Amino acid sequence: MLDNKSILITGGTGSFGNHFVEYVLNHYKPKKIIIYSRDEFKQFNMSNKFKIQYKEHADVLRFFIGDVRDKERLLRALDGVDYVIHAAALKQVPSCEYNPIEAVKTNIDGAINVINAALDTPSVKKVVALSTDKSVNPINLYGGTKLVSDKLFIAANAYSGTKDIRFTVVRYGNVAGSRGSVIPFFQKMLDEGSCELPITDYRMTRFWISLEQGVELVIKALREAKGGETFISKIPSFKITDLAQAMLPGCQMPEIGIREGEKLHEIMITKEDSSTTYEYENHYIIYPHYNWWMEEKLIPGGVKVKEGFEYSSGANKEWLNTEMLRQLVKKINIKY
């Protein structure tokens, strides 16, 4: 599917971009992979890493300095590109709360620029935008901006006209071990000699998804999407208290209170979305509820979920226990 294709990844120097490039180079023979981001130092480091690990693919990777806020630069970068993965975003909740206009410029205005640039580039066939659980019933600015972004990418299908282009969304929560998530936070405390791990609320749960699973869901969306879908992986849940015990058995866990903008449970599918949600073997798809979307676009193999269904980390069918978490954490290359 990706053989001899040109792919552009916005925000491509992040954890997802690095793993996506590795996955694609290991499984396909792309014509070109363009890393589009604004941090020259991260691009320098990523370029050096892949020159060492993938010498035979050195001519495939291209590094393009640019910001999603700059439509003209995006248009230049998209020339000849077949597929776009939109991963660029301001993601830190406190940072977005303190810098709301900057979050809007990147997460909303940037999404508009990606959409318009893709629509204006004849070679682009599919655009996959990465979403987050925080866009579902958002309670913080980051979640609010990503909700708007999701809606924009889904609605973009109505503006494609006769163009052969499709827009779709992939949604998942914090990737296990990603910067800013709980595992690196706990690990940093352990490395500093702490004998306790603070818990904001003993009831808190989260979904567990690995970088590999996140990348595979994006590949599935690229392969199957007909435009307007939101893809969501079926993944296990875990309790934050169990994670703490997995990383430091027998540790004290002082409850310090939930932080501003933080939820007790991650929600991927709301009860209101159940009317257009279908369950597949390893994932769910929320289909758009617009008059321009037709039922013949349904991807085969799905079964409509029951009315009122909700996909929440607190009410999941599959759970990880402490020992499972301990084994999984060992496999993560934790960076903080």
DSSP 275-318: GGEEE-SSEEEEPP-STT--GGGPPTT-EEPPTT--EEGGG-S-
Nearest to 114 by CA among 159, 61, 67, 171: 67
**Residues β-bridged to residue 312:** 267
Q: Residue 294 — very low, low, confident or very high, per pLDDT cuts 50/70/90?
A: confident
For residue 261, what pLDDT is reported?
A: 77
Instruction: Provide the percentage of residues in the chain whose pLDDT is more than 90.
Output: 84
Residue 316, domain member (yes or no): no
Burial class of residue 260 (count of CB atoms within 10 Å of its CB; 0-12, 13-18, 19+): exposed
For residue 329, what pLDDT is reported?
A: 93
Burial class of residue 330 (count of CB atoms within 10 Å of its CB; 0-12, 13-18, 19+): exposed
Residue 218, domain member (yes or no): yes
- The domain of 12 spans 6-173+209-233+268-311
Q: Residue 288 — very low, low, confident or very high, per pLDDT cuts 50/70/90?
A: very high
For residue 260, what pLDDT is reported?
A: 77
For residue 170, what pLDDT is reported?
A: 98
Provide mean pLDDT across the span 242-258: 95
How far apart, in whole angstroms, are the C-alpha atoms of residue 111 and residue 103?
11
CB 213 within 8 A of CB 233: yes
Residue 197, domain member (yes or no): no
Q: Residue 181 — very low, low, confident or very high, per pLDDT cuts 50/70/90?
A: confident
Provide mean pLDDT across the span 167-176: 91
For residue 289, what pLDDT is reported?
A: 87
Provide the whole-model pTM.
Answer: 0.93
CB 153 within 8 A of CB 87: no
Question: SS3 of 86, please?
Answer: strand
CB 102 within 8 A of CB 27: no
Residue 219, domain member (yes or no): yes
Q: Is the pLDDT of residue 299 over 80?
A: yes
Q: What are the residues whose beta carbons fall under 8 Å from the beta carbon of 57, sequence distance 6 or more? A: 25, 50
pLDDT in tens, 58-87: 789 999 999 999 999 999 999 999 999 999
66: CATH: 3.40.50.720
For residue 178, what pLDDT is reported?
A: 79
For residue 335, what pLDDT is reported?
A: 74
Residue 335, domain member (yes or no): no
Catalytically active residues, by annotation? 134
Average pLDDT, the chain: 94
- The total number of structural domains that make up the chain: 1
pLDDT in tens, 6-37: 999 999 999 899 999 999 999 999 999 999 99
Residue 298, domain member (yes or no): yes
Provide mean pLDDT across the span 183-208: 94
For residue 95, what pLDDT is reported?
A: 92
Question: SS3 of 230, please?
Answer: strand
Residue 179, domain member (yes or no): no
For residue 333, what pLDDT is reported?
A: 77
Both tokens assigned to 44: 């320098």
Residue 165, domain member (yes or no): yes
